Amino acid sequence: MSVTDVAEKWVEEAAAMTQPSRVVWCDGSKAEYDALIESMLRDGTLIGLNQRTYPNCYLHRSHPQDVARTEQLTFICSRSQDEAGPTNNWMAPAEAKQKAGAYFKGSLKGRTMYVIPYLMGPAGSSMSRVGIMVTDSEYVVASMHVMTRVGAVAVQHMRSDDDFIAGVHSMGDLSPDRRLILHFPEEKLIWSVGSGYGGNALLGKKCHALRLASSQARQEGWLAEHMLIIGVEDPEGRITYLAAAMPSASGKTNLSMVVSSLPGWRAWTVGDDIAWMHVDASGQLRAINPERGFFGVAPNTSPKTNPNATEMVRSNTIFTNVAMTPTGEPWWEGLTPEPPAGLLDWQGRPWNPASGPAAHPNSRFTVLAEQCPSIAPNWEDPQGVPISGLIFGSRRTKVIPLVFEAFDWSHGVFLGSAMSTETTAAITGQVGVVRRDPMAMIPFCGYNMADYFSHWLATGNRIAKPPKIFRVNWFRKGDDGKFLWPGFGDNMRVLKWMVERIHGARTSAQETPIGWLPRPGDLDTRGLTIKDESLREALRVDATEWLGALDDLESFYKGFGRRLPATIAKTLADTQRKFRG
């Protein structure tokens, strides 16, 4: 493969720092993937699963301290701290390079450095972008094969000699004390050391496709978002495309391949985690999925909750940190109602239920998107799909109703900026703590989030017919601690309401201070077993609760100072006024 001189020179520099004994350029071929799997089976990095029931499926067990994204060790290293903004960890570029440089120095001595040229986005799309990453981990190379398009196809999409995001990765010693995930937006550069976990180590994903891409997108006039992309087909055969932002482990993969409980309605999957969206020449917002595969949460994936995912991971899948049955099958909490006997837990020990779940709560599957039974036939269309609706969803036990619709684009941007969510096992730290998470981008926005809100507002002005914006919450609970809304396949009932709102007919809603809210009778509940009072509670807007939440939002906004767009501050004040009556 021939690459540009700039790329070759950069790889030489990475090698000079890490001192590998061998440099291998990856071509993305099946032979290369197979050889990596063989090598990992030999050295124990992978364990073969039951090849009869799970053909070409493997299990990887991480270091027990390396099982999720570590946000406290993730930094935006822009020249100025203001550019990173108050919601990002920031480190000065020189200091960052000095610190991480010490961990990288000689870290590949006696080992192989793999060079992975990868393409984010479909071949032939002007929205696709190139990265070149180096790594010492075969697990990372194999995962990048699944999650991105590796090899010559990447190089072919470089628009100039230096048109690539460069990423250096090394496992280091896996100690969190010597782990850093660093982003240098001005240099189009990522340095990641000390972790082999997905979001920390597969640099095409969160580091490139969100943190650096969001910063590029702002300069180039597009959007890089933590969003699934879905086509909703109605009984007339019309497909309406939606993109939905939800925080980590909060329902994107599930919604992207939802099997509808409503007859005649079905979902087509375009992407499950990241959307890159451009306004085309006619003023239409269009989205591509920059990824090639899914790195999905295993726990609670079952034939009941997510039949498509359950089917898609029956072959050609790498599982990470799931449990294993005595017959070599993967298992995680929720897969079957009862755990099978004789499980090995995610660390390979005989499972003792007293010492926690058998599968790690953030255990995952890595699989090609094309294996998804509901994959949209046009999911790799270089033009992307036309987006008619955007959804912001989060995980909130209280306050936030099941669904409501923004009054217009700028109100929708306000609703996105106002999101908060309960933390999950996808990040290291406490689970279930409410934190602010505008647009589900708090861990992923590569620049000052106030400027990001401005960019969203400005983008709306360029769209001929801005998509309607919705807010959802599948996770509201009743006083009994149970979810009020059944979720999963029944979420199609909510999507149906949205699609009908988008096409301007048939369904109604009532105006409230936070937007257009369906009355219980406005949702299609045919065949649904839900108590009237549960549905009413799921849709309830409580003025006192909201005024409290808006106070909290106001103090969050204060952190941005004068950079916060005036429209956002005004919308907050208007909403408070409406609630006060």
Where along the sequence are the contacts to ligand SPV (CB under 6 A)?
A: 69, 198-199, 205-206, 248, 273, 295, 426
If we measure between CA atoms, which residue out of 156, 212, 203 comes closest to residue 14? 203
- Residue (366 or 454) nearer to ligand GTP, CB: 366
CB of 478 to ligand SPV, least distance (A): 28
Between 395 and 411, name the residue whose CB sits nearer to Mn ion: 395
Identify which of residues 59 and 426 has a Cβ nearer to ligand SPV in the complex. Answer: 426
Cβ-based burial of 19 (10 A; exposed 0-12, middle 13-18, buried ≥19):
middle
- 354 contacts: CB under 8 Å, gap ≥ 6: none
**248 or 301: whose CB is closer to ligand SPV?**
248
What one-character-per-residue DSSP string does 23-60 give?
EEE----HHHHHHHHHHHHHHTSSEE--TTTSTT-EEE
69 binds, among Mn ion, ligand GTP, ligand SPV, none (CB under 5 to 8 A by kind): ligand SPV
Residues in contact with ligand GTP by CB under 6 A are 246, 248-254, 272-273, 296-297, 299-300, 305, 426, 474-475, 483, 487-488, 491
As measured in angstroms, the least distance from the Cβ of 274 to Mn ion is 8
Q: Shortest distance, CB of residue 363 to ligand GTP, whole angstroms?
A: 10
433 or 505, CB closer to ligand GTP? 433
Q: Do 117 and 150 contact (CB within 8 A), yes or no?
A: yes
Q: How far is the CB of 273 from Mn ion (least distance, A)?
A: 4
409 makes contact, choosing from ligand SPV, ligand GTP, Mn ion, none, with CB < 5 to 8 Å by partner type, with none
CB of 340 to Mn ion, least distance (A): 29
Partner whose footprint covers residue 199, from ligand SPV, ligand GTP, Mn ion, none (CB < 5 to 8 Å by kind): ligand SPV
**What three-state secondary structure class fits 275?**
strand
> d(Cα 474, Cα 477) in Å, to the nearest integer?
9
474 binds, among ligand GTP, Mn ion, ligand SPV, none (CB under 5 to 8 A by kind): ligand GTP
CB of 437 vs Mn ion, minimal distance in Å: 12
> Minimum CB separation from ligand GTP for residue 573, in Å?
32
> Quick one: what does residue 246 bind among ligand SPV, ligand GTP, Mn ion, none, with the CB cut-off 5 to 8 Å set by partner type?
ligand GTP
Taking CB atoms, the residue at the shortest distance from ligand GTP is 487
Work out what residue 198 binds among ligand SPV, ligand GTP, Mn ion, none; the CB cut-off runs from 5 to 8 Å by kind.
ligand SPV
Q: Which amino acid is at 290?
A: P
Nearer to Mn ion, 227 or 418 (CB): 227
Between 248 and 534, CB nearer to ligand SPV: 248
Q: Return the closest-CA partner of residue 416 out of 240, 283, 226, 149.
A: 226
Sign of CA dihedral 100, 106, 109, 113: positive
Residue 13's identity, in one-letter code, is E
Alpha helices in 127-192 (DSSP H): 138-147, 152-156
Taking the C-alpha atoms of residue 538 and residue 532, their distance in angstroms, rounded to an integer, is: 10
Residue 491 binds: one of Mn ion, ligand SPV, ligand GTP, none (C-beta under 5 to 8 A by kind): ligand GTP
SS3 72: helix
CA distance 473 to 541: 13
Element housing 328 (H / E): none
- Closer CB to ligand SPV, residue 273 or residue 524? 273
Binding partner of residue 296 among ligand GTP, Mn ion, ligand SPV, none, CB under 5 to 8 Å per kind? ligand GTP
Question: What minimum distance in Å lies between the beta carbon of 225 and ligand SPV?
Answer: 12
Residue nearest to ligand SPV (CB): 199
DSSP assigned state of 207: I
| Opening angle at CA 433, ends 432 and 438, nearest 5 | 110
Query: Contact positions toward Mn ion, by CB under 5 A?
Result: 248, 273
Question: Which residue, 474 or 557, is less far from Mn ion as judged by CB?
Answer: 474
Measured distance CA(324)–CA(443) in Å, rounded: 32
Work out how close the CB of 249 gets to ligand GTP at its nearest, in angstroms, rounded to a whole number: 4
For residue 205, the partner it binds in Mn ion, ligand SPV, ligand GTP, none, with Cβ less than 5 to 8 A by kind, is ligand SPV
For Mn ion, the closer of residues 312 and 343 by Cβ is: 312
Residues 6+ apart with CB under 8 A from 394: 246, 247, 250, 400, 419, 420, 421, 422, 437, 440, 473, 475
Give the integer Cα–Cα distance in Å for 240 and 499.
Answer: 7
Q: CB of residue 426 vs ligand SPV: minimum separation in angstroms?
A: 4
Q: Please give the angle made by the CA atoms of 93, 94 and 99, to the nearest 5 degrees.
A: 100
Q: How far is the CB of 116 from ligand SPV (least distance, A)?
A: 16
